[in-house]
Amino acid sequence: MSILVFIETEEGKIKKSSREAISFGAALGETTALALGSVSEEELATAGQNGAAKVLHVADDRLNAGLIQPYAEAIAAAMESTGAEVLVTAKSSLADAVVGRVAAKTGAGLVSNVVALPDTSNGFVVKRSIYTGKAFANVSVTTDKKILAIKKNAIDLKQDGGAAAVEALSVSLDDALFGAKITATEKAEGDVLLPEADIVVSGGRGLKGPENWGMIEDLAKTLGAATGCSKPVSDMDWRPHHEHVGQTGVKVSPSLYIAVGISGAIQHLAGVNSSKYIVVINKDEEAPFFKAADYGVVGDAFDVVPKLNEALKKAL
Amino acid sequence: MNILVCITHVPDTTSRIAFTNNNTEFDKTGVQFIIGPYDDYALARAVELKERHGGKITVLNVGEADADPTIRKALAIGADEAVRINAFPSDSFFVANQIAAVAKAGEYDLILMGRESIDFNGGMVHGMVGELLGLPSFSPVMQLEVEGDSAKLTREIEGGKEKLEVKLPFVAGCQEPIAEWKIPNMRGIMSARTKPLEVKDPVDNTAHAELSNYELPPAKGAVKMVDADNLDELVNLLKNEAKVI
Ligand SMILES: Cc1cc2nc3c(=O)[nH]c(=O)nc-3n(C[C@H](O)[C@H](O)[C@H](O)COP(=O)(O)OP(=O)(O)OC[C@H]3O[C@@H](n4cnc5c(N)ncnc54)[C@H](O)[C@@H]3O)c2cc1C
Ligand SMILES: Nc1ncnc2c1ncn2[C@@H]1O[C@H](COP(=O)(O)O)[C@@H](O)[C@H]1O
Nearest ligand to the CA of A303 is 1
Predicted local confidence at residue B205, as pLDDT: 85
Residue with CA closest to ligand 2 atom 8: B8
Cα(A229) to centroid of ligand 1, in Å? 9
Distance CA B96, CA B87 (A): 13
The pLDDT tens digits for B61-70 are 999 999 999 9
Tens place of pLDDT per residue across chain B (245 aa): 999 999 999 999 888 899 999 999 999 999 999 999 999 999 999 999 999 999 999 999 999 999 999 999 999 999 999 999 999 998 999 999 999 999 999 999 999 999 999 988 789 999 999 999 999 999 999 999 999 999 999 999 887 899 999 999 999 999 989 999 999 999 999 999 999 999 999 998 889 999 999 999 988 889 999 999 999 999 999 999 999 99
Predicted local confidence at residue B110, as pLDDT: 98
The ligand 1 atom nearest the CA atom of B12: 1
Distance CA B89, CA A6 (A): 28
State yes or no: pLDDT of A209 exceeds 70.
Answer: yes
User: Is-contact A264 A254, C-beta < 8 A?
Assistant: no
Domain ranges of chain B: 2-217
Where does residue A182 rank: exposed (0-12), middle (13-18), buried (19+ CB within 10 A)?
Answer: middle
The reply to whether residue B164 touches residue A180, judged by beta carbons under 8 angstroms, is yes
**What's the pLDDT band for A189 if we cut at 50, 70, 90?**
low
Q: Residue A262: what residue type?
A: I
Hey, CA dihedral for B197, B198, B201, B205, is it positive or negative?
A: negative
Other beta carbons less than 10 A from residue A122's beta carbon: 8
- Closest residue in A to B215 (Cα) is A136
To the nearest whole angstrom, how far is the Cα of B145 from the nearest Cα of chain A?
Answer: 14
Which bin fits A235, alpha (ψ -120 to 50), beta or left (φ > 0)? alpha
Predicted local confidence at residue A190, as pLDDT: 61
Distance CA B175, CA A236 (A): 16
Decide if B124 touches A, using CB distance below 8 A: yes
- Closest residue in A to B123 (Cα) is A96
Please give the helix or strand (H or E) that residue A260 lies within, else none: strand A256-260
Over pLDDT 70: what percentage of chain A?
Answer: 99
- φ/ψ (deg, to 5) at A184: -165, 150
Question: Can you list the alpha helix ranges (DSSP code H) found in chain B?
Answer: 37-53, 68-77, 92-105, 125-133, 186-192, 231-236
What would the mean pLDDT of A141-145 be, rounded to a whole number?
96
Where does residue B48 rank: exposed (0-12), middle (13-18), buried (19+ CB within 10 A)?
Answer: middle
CB of B40 within 6 A of ligand 2: the answer is no
> Which residue from A234, A230, A240, A236 is spatially nearest to A201, judged by alpha carbons?
A230
* Residues of B with Cβ-Cβ distance to A307 under 8 angstroms: 228, 231
Domain B2-217 is found in CATH 1.10.3720.10 = no
The pLDDT tens digits for A67-96 are 999 999 999 999 999 999 999 999 998 999
Distance CA B118, CA B113 (A): 13
Q: Residue B15: what residue type?
A: S
pTM for this structure? 0.93
- Strand, coil or helix: B100: helix
DSSP string, B180-227: ------HHHHHHHTTS-EEEE--S----SEEEEEEE-PPPPPPPEE--
Average pLDDT over all residues of chain B = 95
Decide if A226 touches B, using CB distance below 8 A: no
Please state which CATH number belongs to domain A3-178: 3.40.50.620
In total, the C-beta contacts within 8 angstroms joining chain A to chain B are 277
Answer CATH for A194-315 from 3.40.1710.10, 3.40.50.1220, 1.10.1740.10, 3.90.1150.10: 3.40.50.1220
State yes or no: pLDDT of A167 exceeds 80.
Answer: yes
Residue with CA closest to ligand 2 atom 1: B62
Selecting from A184, A300, A307 the residue whose C-beta is nearest the C-beta of B163 gives A184
Per 3-state DSSP, what percentage of chain B is helix, strand, and coil (rounded to 5)?
30, 30, 40
Average pLDDT over all residues of chain A = 95
- Beta bridge partners of residue A111, listed in sequence order: A148
Distance CA A183, CA B81 (A): 35
Predicted local confidence at residue A193, as pLDDT: 84
Distance CA B61, CA B59 (A): 7
Predicted local confidence at residue A59, as pLDDT: 94
Distance CA A201, CA A218 (A): 10
Query: In this predicted complex, what is the ipTM?
Result: 0.92
The ligand 2 atom nearest the CA atom of B124: 17
Selecting from A131, A267, A276 the residue whose C-beta is nearest the C-beta of B244 gives A276
Residue extent(s) of CATH 3.40.50.620 domains in chain A: 3-178
Predicted local confidence at residue B220, as pLDDT: 83
Decide if A192 touches B, using CB distance below 8 A: no
Residue with CA closest to ligand 1 atom 37: A206
Other beta carbons less than 10 A from residue A42's beta carbon: 9
> Which residue from A88, A41, A40, A81 is spatially nearest to A172, judged by alpha carbons?
A81
Go through chain B and tell me how many residues it has. Answer: 245
User: Is-contact A191 B170, C-beta < 8 A?
Assistant: no
Distance CA B83, CA B104 (A): 14
Over pLDDT 90: what percentage of chain A?
Answer: 89
What would the mean pLDDT of A225-252 be, rounded to a whole number?
94
- Residues whose CB falls within 8 Å of the CB of residue A93, separated by 6 or more in sequence, listed in order: A195, B139, B140, B156, B157, B158
Other beta carbons less than 10 A from residue B236's beta carbon: 14
Cα(A232) to centroid of ligand 1, in Å? 7
CB of B125 within 6 A of ligand 2: the answer is yes
Residue extent(s) of CATH 3.40.50.1220 domains in chain A: 194-315
